[in-house]
Amino acid sequence: MEARTVNWTALRGPADQAPAAEGLRERKKRQMRQQLSDTATMMFMERGFEAVRVTEIAEACGVSEKTVFNYFPTKESLVLDRWETTTASLRTALADRATTPVEAVRRILASELDDLLSWLAAQADPAETRVQVRRFFALAGATPALRAHQRDELDKVVTVAAEILAERSGLAATDPEPLIAATALLGLWEVHHRALRRCLDGEQPPAEIRALVTEEVGRAARVVESGVSSLPG
């Protein structure tokens, strides 16, 4: 399968989607970023992450290795940088005192799920795309460097979430309460991810996937809510 057969935008996040108003320069940059990521993803799935050099990805896209690193700071981020958009969403959502932290996270996860399911339904061959998505998840789970990258990025997001929760609670960012609350909130992504993987291993239609994933996240969220709600403010 060639890289262009599957557009991996939904697994990379809203930053790779075209904004409502986009100039020519911005569109070319977004398209190059997507081409680099799509090409790298397919090469990694075909040959393994460690077997592919960044120079090969650059050559396949007709650019220099320096250009690749201008768009992606590390080899791992070529396929895993969604936490950047998640962090941006959390900064906005958790700062809204009218919404509980758990509800804010559930809304972000619901939006991400809607994006993924809409993307899946729009593919020319949704069934084959599911196969490719399962291969993508398998690659991320079986590659030590990618697993380490995920852990590092998650730690950064937990730190950001803890700082926001501390500010809204009147606590210090170094206090244990906002840290454990942030860790629990980010754990909802793991519940979401595991439920989604199970659904994509089967043949459930999008509506059923949405219901099943949402239900499992909701069950986990009720457990988290009991603890996070004890924070001041």
Q: Do 198 and 130 lie in a common domain? A: yes
Q: Residue 210: give the domain boundaries.
A: 83-228
Give yes or no: residues 215 and 109 share one domain. Answer: yes
CB 19 within 8 A of CB 29: no
- For 109, half-sphere exposure in the C-beta direction (CA atoms, 13 angstrom radius) is 28
Instruction: Map tokens 């789970």 to a residue.
Output: 141
Residues 68 and 92 grouped into a single domain: no
Q: Do residue 134 and residue 60 come from a single domain?
A: no
In a domain, 233, yes or no: no
Q: How many domains does the chain have?
A: 2
Does residue 216 share a domain with residue 113?
A: yes
User: Are 57 and 164 contained in the same domain?
Assistant: no
96-101 mean pLDDT:
92
Q: What percent of the chain has pLDDT over 90?
A: 64
Kindly state whether residues 141 and 60 are assigned to the same domain: no
Of 75, 99, 114, the residue at which a domain comes to its end is 75
What pLDDT is stored for residue 3 in this prediction?
A: 40
pLDDT at 7 over 70: no
Q: Are residues 156 and 198 in the same domain?
A: yes
Of 75, 92, 116, the domain-final residue: 75
Residue 53 dihedral angles phi and psi, to the nearest 5°: -95, 150
Q: What integer pLDDT is reported at residue 11 of this predicted model?
A: 64
Find out whether 122 and 204 touch, Cβ atoms under 8 Å. no
Tens digits of residue pLDDT in 42-69: 999 999 999 999 999 999 999 999 999 9
**CATH code, domain with 23:** 1.10.10.60
Residue 4 pLDDT > 60: no
**59 CB-near residues (< 8 Å, 6+ apart):** none
111 shares a domain with 171: yes
CATH number for the domain spanning 126: value is 1.10.357.10
Distance of CA 163 to CAs 94, 100, 147, 177, Å? 10, 16, 25, 11
The answer to whether 144 and 184 are in contact (CB under 8 A) is: no
User: Kind and range of the H or E element at 160?
Assistant: helix 144-169
Residue 21 lies in a domain: yes
Q: Which of 59, 75, 91 is the last residue of a domain?
A: 75
